[in-house]
């Protein structure tokens, strides 16, 4: 039976995010710890001056919808199922970075958001192709360009941080048995 490859898609998206310099710690699933210190450690990122900063991104699948793929029919309003379904996964990428007014951290965070979005403007990345041009996820039709839905200041644990939500939709073709 054919099945969704959403985990492979998510892992490939996470790899693309990780390839952007300065993203911080990238997690391909929602992290958790009952100990606040241990939770914040999951997002501590060493900086060039030897200090650490809270900086990271988490990718999680937020929802998935599915439609029957079809081919045209001569009958009025009719369609013929093609044996494929089109599954649209919406991945939520949320990011955080310690807020530091003295160094203008908001500008750095906004620039980082744009660098991540720029990464997904590349045609090879939108189809998740590897270096040789082969598809990393055979069932993937394409990614949609990222949508930045929210940018604000938030307390993350006990740290004031810049926070952003970016959504990436992945359209996958799945053969129905």
Using one digit for the tens of pLDDT, what is the confidence trace for 138-173?
Answer: 888 889 999 999 999 999 989 999 999 999 999 998
Structure tokens at 89: 């996964």
Q: Residue 48: its pLDDT value, please?
A: 82
Mean pLDDT of 93-109: 95
Q: Which residues pair with 91 in a beta bridge?
A: 61, 168
| Full DSSP string of 43-81 | TEEE-TTS-EEEEEEEEEEEEEEEEEEEEE-SSTT-EEE
| Residues above pLDDT 70, as percent of the chain | 91
62, 90 in Cβ contact below 8 A? Answer: yes
Q: Which residues pair with 30 in a beta bridge?
A: none
Strands 159-175 and 52-72: unpaired
Residue listed under structure tokens 């379904």: 85
Q: Which domains does the chain have, with CATH numbers?
A: 6-175 (3.30.2000.30)
Phi and psi for 16 in degrees, rounded to 5? -65, -40
> Rounded to two decimals, what is the model's pTM?
0.87
- Banded pLDDT at 1 (limits 50, 70, 90): very low
Q: Which residues pair with 79 in a beta bridge?
A: 72
End-to-end distance of the chain based on CA atoms, in angstroms? 6
Q: Residue 72: its pLDDT value, please?
A: 55
61, 6 in Cβ contact below 8 A? Answer: yes
Q: Residue 145: its pLDDT value, please?
A: 93
């Amino acid at each position: 039976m054919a099945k969704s490859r959403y985990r492979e898609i998510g892992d490939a998206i996470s790899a693309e995010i990780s390839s952007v310099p300065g993203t911080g710690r990238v997690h391909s699933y929602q992290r958790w710890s009952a100990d606040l210190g241990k939770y914040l450690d999951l997002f501590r990122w060493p900086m060039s001056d030897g200090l650490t900063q809270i900086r990271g991104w988490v990718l999680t699948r937020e929802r998935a919808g599915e439609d029957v793929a079809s081919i045209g029919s001569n009958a009025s309003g009719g369609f013929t199922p093609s044996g494929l379904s089109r599954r649209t996964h919406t991945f939520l990428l949320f990011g955080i970075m310690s807020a530091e007014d003295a160094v203008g951290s908001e500008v750095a965070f906004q620039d980082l958001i744009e660098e991540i979005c720029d990464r997904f403007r590349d045609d090879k990345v939108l189809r998740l192709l590897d270096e040789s041009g082969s598809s990393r996820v055979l069932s993937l039709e394409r990614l949609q360009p990222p949508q930045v839905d929210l940018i604000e200041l938030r307390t993350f644990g006990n740290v004031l941080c810049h926070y952003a939500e970016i959504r990436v939709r992945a359209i996958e073709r799945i053969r129905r048995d």
